[in-house]
Amino acid sequence: MSEAAWSPEEIESIKERILTALETVIDPELGIDIVNLGLIYEIDFAETGDTVIKMTLTTMGCPLADILTDSIHDALKEVPEVTNVDVKLVWYPAWTTDKMSRYARIALGIR
């Protein structure tokens, strides 16, 4: 039986760096990053480097899906452990402004 490539602590550290990289992906319409907007629902990082990002959009017909997906792929190139990225759009639970960080609410004038 081979040893795991990374310890659970190292995997959590990698996920944190993935999250930090995702903070550089800005929603062009709102000017706020997708993490603070609450669009990232889950980050799944496998020991192989395969990474699945489950995210939603502010609206189901959002025309920015391809732009945001491309930006996520570009941002995660900065995390060397990530070898493959799969962005999965999910619609449940539905996104609401409650998912936004305090920073995003203040920046957009939402209480």
Contact present, 54 and 86 (Cβ < 8 Å): no
Look at residue 6 in the predicted model and tell me its pLDDT.
83
Look at residue 60 in the predicted model and tell me its pLDDT.
81
What distances in angstroms separate CA 28 from CA 25, 63, 67, 104, 106, one per listed residue?
9, 11, 9, 14, 17
Give the single-character DSSP code of 6: S
Look at residue 17 in the predicted model and tell me its pLDDT.
97
Look at residue 57 in the predicted model and tell me its pLDDT.
93
Look at residue 3 in the predicted model and tell me its pLDDT.
58
CA angle 93, 52, 84 (to 5 degrees): 160
Look at residue 4 in the predicted model and tell me its pLDDT.
66
Query: Which domains occur in the chain, in start order?
Result: 8-106 (3.30.300.130)
pLDDT averaged over consecutive 10-residue blocks of the chain (111 residues)?
74 96 95 96 95 93 90 97 96 93 93 78
Look at residue 5 in the predicted model and tell me its pLDDT.
77
Say which residue the tokens 């993935």 belong to. 18
Look at residue 1 in the predicted model and tell me its pLDDT.
42
Q: What percent of the chain has pLDDT over 90?
A: 82
